[in-house]
Amino acid sequence: MSQKTKKPETESAETEPTIAAGGGSAWPFVLLVVLLFGCFLHVESTGGAFRADVFQAGMRTLPPQTDDPPAVKSYKRGAQLYAAGCVGCHQATGLGSAALNFPPLAGSEWVVREKPDRLIRIMLNAVEGPIKVKDITYDNPAMLAFRDVYSDDDIAAIATFIRGNAEWGNSAAFVTPQQVKAIRDGTAAMGSQKWRVESLEPVP
């Protein structure tokens, strides 16, 4: 190292005597070498290598059926909203808890239908009374109505997240704010009344 750093001093002494006269003229070069080496180390430890773990962790949270950017954005937002508004009862696994009388959303026939019409209604006004989900009947009035809590965008995002959550085994199509708005307006007369299963069954 010391030999290397002295080299430019002698070289510059021949070509540019004014710089060599300083005696300490090697320092800028030493500094440059240290800086460059530092940059090299940084690139090597961060961007230099393909971080497969980071890439895959990111991919796992994306719904497999959509590569449409707005839907992917909505899905990610839905994941955040779910973690705040639904996770306490339906759990991060989407499995709910049979013991605590919270039904699952993973594989639920109320969630992964072809049309999101029942799900949107349930999210807007909640459902009460006995409801059968994956062969188990739940009856717990704790489900909350989100009509006055979440915007059309929010409900579409949460619905997109729970319908398309591959980790839960769900792969239903994403939901748009326009779909939510149509149902919100169409069911405005419901006010804060909750759905019963009988009135949801005719809904596609």
What does residue 77 show for φ and ψ, rounded to 5 degrees?
-65, -40
Q: How far is the CB of 72 from ligand HEC (least distance, A)?
A: 19
Residue 144 Cβ vs ligand HEC, minimum distance, rounded to whole Å: 5
The residue at minimum Cβ distance from ligand HEC is 86
Which one-letter amino acid corresponds to residue 60?
A: R
CB 162 within 8 A of CB 170: yes
d(CA 9, CA 12): 5
Instruction: Check residue 183 for interaction with ligand HEC (CB under 6 A).
Output: no
Half-sphere CA count of 129, side-chain side, radius 13 A: 9
Examine residue 139 and tell whether it contacts ligand HEC (CB under 6 A). yes
- Residues between 1 and 60 with contacts to ligand HEC, criterion CB under 6 A: none
Q: How far is the CB of 65 from ligand HEC (least distance, A)?
A: 19
Build a one-symbol-per-residue string for 141-180: x at contacts with ligand HEC by CB under 6 A, - elsewhere. -xxx-x-----------x---x------------------
Min dist CB 69 to ligand HEC, Å, is 23
Q: Does the protein bind ligand HEC through residue 120 (CB under 6 A)? A: no
Task: State the minimum distance, in angstroms, from the CB of residue 64 to ligand HEC.
Answer: 20
Q: Supply the minimum distance, in Å, between the C-beta of residue 70 and ligand HEC.
A: 20
Of 34-42, 45-53, 125-133, 177-185, which part binds ligand HEC (CB under 6 A)? 125-133
Distances (CA, A) of 5 to 16, 27, 31, 34, 104: 17, 8, 10, 11, 68
Site residue total, ligand HEC (CB under 6 A): 29
Burial 66-101 (b: 16+ CB within 10 A, else e): beeeebbebbbbbbebbeebbeebbbeebbbeeeee
The contact pattern for ligand HEC, residues 84-113, with x = CB under 6 A and - = no contact, is: -xx-xxx-----------xxxx--x-xx--
Q: Return the closest-CA partner of residue 75 out of 163, 168, 184.
A: 163
